[in-house]
Structure 1
Amino acid sequence: MVETHESCDSRDCKKPPGDPMSSAAPAHAEDPTAARLRALLVRAPTAVAFVSGQRFEVVSEEFNHLFGFGDDSDLSGQGTRVVHTTDLAHTALLERTAAAFAAGRPLDEEIEYVKRDGHRFWGRLQATPVHWDAPAGEALWIVEDVTAARAQRLQPTWTAKHDSVTELANRREFERRLAEHVGSRRGEPVSVLWLDVDKFAEVIKDMGAEVGDHFLYGLGQMLIGKVRASDLVARLEEDHFAILLPDCDQHYAQIIAEKVRSAVAGYRLRWGLHRTRVKASLGVVQLQPSLTTVDAVLGGAALACTEAKAAGGDSVRIFVSAGGYEELAG
């Protein structure tokens, strides 16, 4: 990649207050890595901080703004205690962070923070060591304001419809939405995919339930990105997912199923020092007159998925009402 150097306005070239990477040397003589990091910390819309010894060493502009700091003040050089509500909360966080890093895991949790003006908010903290071989050294913090999302998740209507681990629709909500199409006379084709992660029990055995939950969450978010906004992705149970595809016939459902299968095969779980990869089996069914209930539709999709697993996994099978199965070509 060819790097170009252009003039910039005073806002983009402004030195962040307290930035320890600043230098009186001309811009063209600055270390390229430091220049890239500086640009990232100033321009990226992400609240990022480097923390060492319970002190903020370097923070992004967005991180300052998130906590109510700005041009006349800066979190760089201040203790991490300043953004926590109490000494007890701060100490407890340090203990949980140390335990997670020692176990080779990042810290990912929601914490109540306090802004400079005293206003409190809930933030999702994702913390990881800069060097895993020195977990007690410098760490990277990424904080996201989740106050609104957290309030929504605490609503009874939300918890009744969503899975707590993946935040996808739960089985009850999926069946309710599917029921709107079963027996419908609107005439539009509707299909359902049933996805079962191959050998997921081995992931849990090797890595533990906590890592497994993070994997399921990441997998669910990846699945959402592979379908349309009008489709519904749900976690039915354990490692079983389902996708409702309105206005989608069997032919296009096969194409989507293959795309999803390929995406799962290429998906990598990276959680701290933990790494793994899995594959998935999928069953496809298009709603048809012979499937008169929600249970019948899901049963057909699950049966096709079972056939895919019996064939060795990492494959797609199509439910046919006559009792046979077709393997997706290719």
Structure 2
Amino acid sequence: MSSATPATPASTEDPIAARLRTLLVRAPTAVAFVRGQRFEVVSEEFNHLFGFNDDGELAGQPTRLVHTTDMAHTALQERADAAFAAGRPLDEEIEYVKRDGHRFWGRLQASPVHWDAPSGESLWIVEDVTAARALRLQPTWTAKHDAVTELANRREFERRLGEHVGSRRNEPVSVLWVDVDRFGEVIKDMGAEVGDHFLYGLGQMLISKVRASDLVARLEEDHFAILLPDCDQHYAQIIAEKVRSSIASYRLRWGLHRTRVKASLGVVQIQPTLVTVDAVLGGAALACTEAKAAGGDSVRVFVSAGGYEELAG
């Protein structure tokens, strides 16, 4: 007589709690839940970031433990309280101290777990930005990058574009000009600080839509440009349409603030009639102006002096 294999008893742990526990152990992100200036729950990566292991977890410890001074800790709490009360998360670079006394710079992104109770439990996400911060402080980095978006600035974009203008190489090169539609309304409704965070997020999204060999830059205000080496007009149109669609579906989330925008794009391929950097950028900008004049959220292609080709958007 054969006997049935006994069934394995189902776990009685709450599924949501089990998922959170797994996330805190396995995710390569330093995450902590904070209440009353104490760490309630911390991820494994959060412990490791501050030099704590299983024999000395940060859970239950005061948040003062990871700050350099009482004054720095108090000032941070005051800034967080003010931001949360205004419906904004806190996003700052802060000097922290590890368990062994070693100091490092971390980017803290903190927000209330429940926005209707901003003084209650909050979520902290910390990233070590020591190396990135040191790089940004170098004069060479500052000279080539935009401070808000951390993308290449106009000077660097023009320098890189200049390497292709007039080149005798047979490699096709194209440029996209991106102009966010009605961005002034975002600034008016949500404020300059939210606008800056939106521009940063938009810049990071643009990077994710192009190749590693391409260059994304912020030229000015809400105007971006993308340099596409080894890319002819046909493929530049495809990329432009993908970028347009991605911007249209991109949602800004910054605390309680939510908004969507659209963009107009101009496309130009470097050609013999465009003999200077200004001429190439001018062609892309003119095509973009035509897209905006058509109502925005569309793409236009510069084909010759004074000529445009419409790409449905």
TM-score (norm 2): 0.96
**Pairwise mapping of residues 297-308 of structure 1 onto structure 2 (< 5 A)?**
297-308=280-291
Q: Structure 1 counterpart of 2:34, which letter?
A: V
**Stretches of 4+ moved more than 6 A in 1?**
none
Structure 2 counterpart of 1:222: 205
Structure 2 counterpart of 1:266: 249
How far off is 1:227 after superposition?
A: 0.5
Is residue 2:132 matched to residue 1:149?
Answer: yes
How far off is 1:255 after superposition?
A: 0.6
Structure 2 counterpart of 1:209: 192
Note closer, same or farther for the CA distance 1:27–1:67 as it changes in structure 2 (3 Å cut): farther
Structure 2 counterpart of 1:122: 105
Is residue 2:121 matched to residue 1:138?
Answer: yes
Aligned-partner SS, 2:45: helix
* Deviation readout 1:100-147 (Å, 9 max, x if unpaired): 000000000000000000000000000000000000000000000000
Structure 2 counterpart of 1:182: 165
Note closer, same or farther for the CA distance 1:27–1:68 as it changes in structure 2 (3 Å cut): farther
How far off is 1:322 after superposition?
A: 4.1
Matches of 2:95 and 2:223, distance apart in 1: 33
Give the conservation status (yes or no) of the 8 Å contact 2:298–2:312.
no
Matches of 2:279 and 2:305, distance apart in 1: 14
* Deviation readout 1:285-330 (Å, 9 max, x if unpaired): 0101111100000000000000000000000001121422111146
* Deviation readout 1:149-170 (Å, 9 max, x if unpaired): 0000001110000000000000
TM-score (norm 1): 0.91
Is residue 2:268 matched to residue 1:288?
Answer: no
Q: Structure 1 counterpart of 2:163, which letter?
A: E
**Pairwise mapping of residues 1-330 of structure 1 onto structure 2 (< 5 A)?**
28-329=11-312
Q: Structure 2 counterpart of 1:315, which letter?
A: S
Matches of 2:301 and 2:57, distance apart in 1: 59
Matches of 2:31 and 2:98, distance apart in 1: 16
RMSD over equivalenced CA pairs, Å: 1.1
Q: Structure 2 counterpart of 1:217, which letter?
A: Y
Instruction: Give the paired residue count.
Output: 306
Matches of 1:71 and 1:248, distance apart in 2: 52
* Deviation readout 1:183-238 (Å, 9 max, x if unpaired): 00001111000000000000000000000000000000000000011100000000
Q: Which runs of 5+ in 1 are unaligned?
A: 1-6, 8-25
Matches of 1:188 and 1:202, distance apart in 2: 40
Q: Percent identity?
A: 89
Matches of 2:155 and 2:60, distance apart in 1: 50
Give the conservation status (yes or no) of the 8 Å contact 2:176–2:268.
yes
How far off is 1:74 after superposition?
A: 1.0
Aligned-partner SS, 2:144: coil
Give the conservation status (yes or no) of the 8 Å contact 2:248–2:263.
yes
Q: Structure 1 counterpart of 2:228, which letter?
A: L
Aligned-partner SS, 1:229: coil
Aligned-partner SS, 2:304: coil
